[in-house]
Structure 1
Amino acid sequence: MVELQLQSALTCPECGHQATETMPTTACQFFYDCRGCGTVLRPKAGDCCVFCSYGTAPCPPIQQRAPCCG
């Protein structure tokens, strides 16, 4: 059993602002509003959620090597 990391620091590609957020375990997060500049972050092509694209840890399903919501 893999111990899940539920905290991930998201970094905005526009302004560089970082915010540590708790990842949902029952759904993917497709959008995130940057608190620094207001840019709406969306997953990069091929990623299932904003945590996989801009976070320090991938989302829980990816950590468990399970299918993601996307």
Structure 2
Amino acid sequence: MDAIVLESVLTCPHCGFARQETMPTDACQFFYECSHCKALLRANPGDCCVFCSFGSVKCPPMQQQRRCCCRAVG
């Protein structure tokens, strides 16, 4: 089994600003405020969190192909 990656680069779809963030391991992060343009990012429909929508790495539950806190995989 591969190691779980806890760092992901979130890229704002509004201004393109990218910032590395640490992902929570015990909860989904539905919202994220861009530190550059202050846009409030929300997870895209069908994604469990902002990391799955805008991150360079999917959230830890999705990396493990297990149930995220809001939807099942597969």
The question of a shared fold, defined as TM-score above 0.5 by the shorter chain, is answered with: yes
* Structure 2 unpaired stretches of 5+: none
RMSD: 0.6
1:2 CA drift (Å)? 3.0
Structure 2: how far apart are the matches of 1:29 and 1:3? 21
Please give the per-residue CA displacement for 1:8-61, whole angstroms capped at 9, x wherever unaligned: 000000000000000000000000000010000000010000000000000000
Identity fraction in percent: 57
Matched, 1:56 2:56: yes
Query: Runs of at least 4 residues of structure 1 off by over 6 A?
Result: none
Structure 1, unmatched stretches of 5+, are none
TM-score of the aligned structures, taking structure 1 as reference length: 0.97
Paired residue secondary structure (1:20): strand
Query: Residues of 1 paired with 2:53 and 2:2: CA distance?
Result: 21
